[in-house]
Structure 1
Amino acid sequence: MKLHWSPRSPFVRKVMITLHELGRVDEVTLMRNTVASHLPPNPAVLADNPLGKIPALVTDTTVLFDSRVICAFLNRDGALPDSIDAQRWQALADGGTDILLAWRTELARPQGQWTAITDSYGAKLRAVLSVLNAEADRLHATPFGPGHVAIICFLGQLDFRWGDSAWRDHFPQLAALDSVWAIRASVRATAIVNDNDDGNDLTAGELRFEKETP
């Protein structure tokens, strides 16, 4: 199999963590590609995925796109426990990651960001993190599965592109759980690498969290 891949993509990272957890990394050849919503479609990716997005997994018989679809395909034998809760957590975390990516694109607009949109993004991210923080005990008690993978990648994107947000200071239960997950071999092996070294100046100071009211 071949995987359209980038070491900076949180959704690619979901696939890579799943491959590591399943012991299937050696079955996949990685093809480095750059894609972004504000850039022309990458021809190499577009040839396999008409949406022009990564990850895209090329198998002997088809091409799969969307990280959820790819991870479900790789885990079709159920080695990673799945459930409605896991799917709900995955949807929540993936939605949060989508917001982070869209927000950074909005900040890059030459005419400046649309404040009404970015204010909405901030409110939604606070809500997502609040829910995950409140459910940290249940997450910890649930066998590691697709929901955990998605949350790890969401939080990893926060650290990568929004490193000054200090989210751990405001969502301590979730932060403690993230520290537990961080020692897993699959998580360490897939740490995000900024191989283009494009910096995080766009997002500096944009995402802040207020202290929780006692």
Structure 2
Amino acid sequence: MKLHWSPRSPYVRKVMVAAHELGLAERITCVRSVAALPTPNPIIMADNPLSKIPTLVLDNGDVLLDSRTIVEYLDSLAGPGVLVPLEGPARWRALSRQALADGLLDLLILWRNERAKPEERQTEAWIEAFATKVNATFDRFEQQAGDAPASSFGIGEIALGCALSYADFRFAELNWRSGRPHLSSWHQSFAARPSAQATEAVDG
């Protein structure tokens, strides 16, 4: 399997954390692929016309798009149901947790793009909205971290760990740990996992 990959993409990291957790990482060939919003990459577009990563090309030539689809596929190879519950309330809780964590990532990426503009082109109302939504989401995860069993680890937790690590990587000034002891402790345990250490984001 070939994965269009970047060491900085939190969505690619989701896939690779899952692959390590499932024992499938060695079956994936990572191809360094730059996916910049204003510059379509023809190499990625040969497999994914959206020019987005992660994109996984299977050995039979089929192409899977989006981290959620790819993780479900990897889970089906290893289980299924190891990281993504197959049915019932556990499935909907896991998918909802993943959706909230992915939404947090989406907000952080949009916020980063906005603040990268020249100051006179930035929209202050957008920046304020990003900050409000991001902090409210941190607070929701703090509440959930206090209620959830520490042993639980699946796609929702992978998505959350990658989102919080991305906040550290690109928004260290947010100091999201302040006033959120449960979430801070939870992320410390995530960061200690071999799968997280093997996929830590780097600039390069």
TM-score, length basis structure 2? 0.91
Q: What is the CA–CA distance in structure 1 between the aligned matches of 2:127 and 2:26, rounded to whole Å?
A: 40
- Unpaired stretches in structure 1, ≥5 consecutive residues: 196-214
* RMSD, aligned CA: 1.3
Alignment-derived partner of residue 122 in structure 2? 113
Q: Does 1:90 align with 2:98?
A: yes
Amino acid at match of 1:16: M
> Do the aligned partners of 1:140 and 1:177 also contact (CA within 8 Å) in 2?
no
Alpha carbons 1:13, 1:190 under 8 Å: kept:
yes
Q: Give the whole-Å Cα distance in 2 for the aligned partners of 1:182 and 1:107.
A: 27
Q: Distance in 2 between matches of 1:139 and 1:18?
A: 20
1:180 corresponds to:
189
Distance 1:105 1:81 in 2: 31
Alpha-carbon shift at residue 81 of structure 1 (Å): 4.7
Query: Mapping of 1:20-99 within 5 angstroms?
Result: 20-37=20-37, 39-59=38-58, 60-76=60-76, 77-82=80-85, 83-99=91-107
Q: Answer yes or no: is 1:137 the counterpart of 2:146.
A: yes
Q: CA deviation at 1:107?
A: 1.4
1:81–1:143 contact (8 Å) kept in structure 2: no
Query: With structure 1 as the length reference, what TM-score do the two structures score?
Result: 0.87
Residues 150 and 186, structure 2, Cα contact 8 Å, conserved in 1 = no
Q: Figure out how many residues of one structure are paired with residues of the other and give that number.
A: 194
Shift of 1:170: 2.5
Q: Which runs of 5+ in 2 are unaligned?
A: 86-90
Cα offset for 1:139?
3.4
**How high is the sequence identity, in percent, across the aligned residues?**
43
Say if 1:2 and 1:30, in contact at 8 Å, map to a contact too: yes
Residue number in structure 2 paired with 1:206? none
- Separation in 2 of the partners of 1:140 and 1:123? 28
Report if the CA contact (8 A) 1:2-1:58 is conserved: yes
Contact 2:72 2:84 in 1 (8 A): no
Deviations 1:3-31 (A, max 9, x none): 00000000000000000000111111100
Equivalent residue, structure 1, for 2:88: none
Distance 1:171 1:143 in 2: 19
CA shift, 1:182, in A, is: 1.4
- Once residues 113 and 135 of structure 1 are traced to their aligned partners in structure 2, the CA distance between those partners, rounded to angstroms, is 33
Write the distance in 2 (CA, Å) between the matches of 1:174 and 1:124.
17
Q: What secondary structure, in the 3-state scheme, does the structure 1 residue paired with 2:148 have?
A: helix
**Alignment partner of 2:203 out of 170, 194, 209:** 194
Instruction: Check 1:139–1:190 CA distance in 2 against 1; reply closer, same or farther (3 A cut).
Output: farther
State whether residues 81 and 144 of structure 1, in contact with CA within 8 Å, keep that contact through their aligned partners in structure 2: no
Residue number in structure 2 paired with 1:9: 9
Aligned to 1:101: 109
Which structure: greater helix fraction? 2
Q: Determine if contact 1:33/1:45 at 8 Å carries over to the other structure.
A: yes
Structure 1 CA distance for aligned equivalents of residues 52 and 180 of structure 2: 31
